[in-house]
Amino acid sequence: MLVCVAVGYTLQMEMAAIKAGLGSMDVMENAQRGRFAMLHGVTSVIYLMQSLLGGWLVVITLKF
């Protein structure tokens, strides 16, 4: 779980850097659109994994 948080934080920082580097331009109108979309997808999967693991831990804890 700690690895997911560390990787997610790193990816979020990279996404923020891409957005900050563009200034007032829209991310989807730039050449870095593919990289931003890939990072967004990866972070979404990480958050999904964290949510599922957290829910699983709650269910296991309530059973015992």
Residue 37 is which amino acid? A
pLDDT at position 50 is: 86
pLDDT digits (tens, 9 = 90+) for 10-59: 888 888 888 887 776 776 677 778 888 888 898 888 889 889 999 999 99
Euclidean distance between CA atoms 38 and 15, whole angstroms: 10
pLDDT at position 19 is: 81
Q: Tell me phi and psi for residue 10, to 5 degrees.
A: -60, -45
pLDDT band at 1 (very low <50, low <70, confident <90, very high): low
pTM beyond cutoff 0.85 = no
